[in-house]
Structure 1
């Protein structure tokens, strides 16, 4: 009974560990794509342009609502970010011109002027991908201080230029009963709620990217979850056989020799135990890696065997199991692994 329970625990740990590692690979690929294309930064500044200026070309939103438009336009076609500026913000904020957008970038440019101290050294466009609500509210207060009429003067300029931000700030100003400190706190709370809404929208789009990457990883590595489970159980049974032979003495050597009839049993056992089930499953990838006992690791093109495995219908249920498992994400599988092993979180 104890041996059977141990086999099932090994099976659970093996499956969870495999799904965790593959999920981490999916997350790593997603993060690499996001950083390479600066998706987070473009997402933030597209929202800010829609909110502050509404100056999208041809009347379109800078932040498209359609999934196809987001993946086609935002990463490649249109870059809503302001030009990067390495100098610190001027001590006196630029005044907002009346009746026309403030400069080439409108209010978005004025906002970037006040927050560019947190920008990272880069070329071309800004790399700011997260704007703290407190910094945004202080930037609004600094812009209001540059107006003769203070907050009301800024609101009047926003209304005159047709900025969508006018309605939001006007409501916050009236709710604060024209108190500057309460107005600053209200702007901070409003922007914080907007950032939460934007984060939810961003995650909704990213989940489609993760789903596509999970499919690519599953097919490239051709990880059959069902076959992997059988391999784990088979390895466990093989190790139990080796242990039993060791304890039984020379009389049981003939059984082990029968299992390794093509070679000497001792090297056969050593090679089998040094190749766990996870390594064997990853050998089915389109490019496999071999790590010999001596020498450097080598990579091998495995295209023919990979294609045969991919087009074999008996593997498709296992591929589907792996794909669905990867959709749960690395945090889920890490939590499952932590619960099984008893690892406690620091939080």
Structure 2
């Protein structure tokens, strides 16, 4: 009896894992296609280094709904891509009121463009190591005649928000260059963690939306799927019992197959496990026959009838909530049930 519940748990976990992987895959494709990570980073850098744009708006939207509208489709905060190595001598900051709106961003990209990937249009840099950022600032400060003090004075004249952060780090380091570089690295690492929290919040909303779409597209009723798994297990058990029960059990299977030959009936049933049966309710399903090429089927009428049936809604809700836990959660559950060990722990 215990094996029945183990099979039920495995079936549910595997189905939720596969659907969660589908959601994660769609999200990753969306992020890569629109370069969301890179836009998050450079929107933050523009706010921190140069401040708001000419209209006084922050480059990095504060609300998640604004992020959906601004970063993917509206303004692109990334600098123009360059395939040239960083110049030996960094550029200088503009003096006084002649500053450019994105002067600091341009100078920073000038110092880190060597880590950029080949691309067309704008940069694809989505991560700047804190050590590399600190070295880039030190190189810009070294270009000033008065060193760090002159660099900070220029930032103050420009009205750069970075001035306040670096001034505090410089005073805390007691004007020691090595301690200042380490302090900048620590500060930038903390800022990247804060930015990661904002990005994760954005991703959660994306996953929530994609979870609804995947659940409704496949009309995956978690409760019905559990019941189908139990029926599938019972049928397989009855087939196994034929080998030791004699002709009487064979007659029962023959009657269950509506008088047809039980052999092809059983073969066809066993070749379509519960997961395959549930996926056949999707808007578009695929059929792989024993011979010939796979075929696609449009199930618009069946799908809509299933979607508008209130009795399926609790199962849809169960599936949706399960997808919100994410693929990593269901993979961990699967490892615990099956006893699969992580390679990292083994090493």
Specify the TM-score bucket, using the shorter chain as the normaliser.
Answer: over 0.9
Residue 296 (structure 1) aligns with: 293
Secondary structure of the structure 1 residue equivalent to 2:343: coil
Residue 253 (structure 1) aligns with: 250
How far did 1:293 drift?
Answer: 1.0
* Structure 1 stretches of 4+ moved >6 Å: none
- Rounded to whole Å, the distance in 2 between the matches of 1:262 and 1:87 is 76
Alignment of 1:1-347 (within 5 A): 4-100=1-97, 103=100, 105-347=102-344
- Rounded to whole Å, the distance in 2 between the matches of 1:330 and 1:92 is 47
How far did 1:103 drift?
Answer: 4.3
Residues 150-203 of structure 1 show CA distances to partners (whole Å, capped at 9, x for unaligned) of 111110000000000000000000000111011000000000000000000110
Q: Using a 3 Å threshold, how does the CA distance of structure 1 residues 100 and 127 change in structure 2: closer, same or farther?
A: farther
How far did 1:263 drift?
Answer: 2.2
What is the aligned-residue RMSD (CA, Å)? 1.0
Runs of 5+ unmatched residues, structure 1: none
Q: How many residues align?
A: 344
How far did 1:104 drift?
Answer: 5.6
Once the two structures are overlaid, the 10-residue window that deviates more, 95-104 or 240-249, is 95-104
How far did 1:98 drift?
Answer: 1.6
Q: Using a 3 Å threshold, how does the CA distance of structure 1 residues 284 and 101 change in structure 2: closer, same or farther?
A: farther
- Rounded to whole Å, the distance in 2 between the matches of 1:170 and 1:101 is 22
Runs of 5+ unmatched residues, structure 2: none
Task: Answer whether contact 1:53 1:101 (CA < 8 A) is retained.
Answer: no
Task: Answer whether contact 1:16 1:333 (CA < 8 A) is retained.
Answer: yes
Once the two structures are overlaid, the 10-residue window that deviates more, 212-221 or 242-251, is 242-251
How far did 1:329 drift?
Answer: 0.2
How far did 1:102 drift?
Answer: 5.1
* TM-score normalised per structure 1: 0.97
Task: Answer whether contact 1:51 1:164 (CA < 8 A) is retained.
Answer: yes
Task: Answer whether contact 2:54 2:101 (CA < 8 A) is retained.
Answer: no
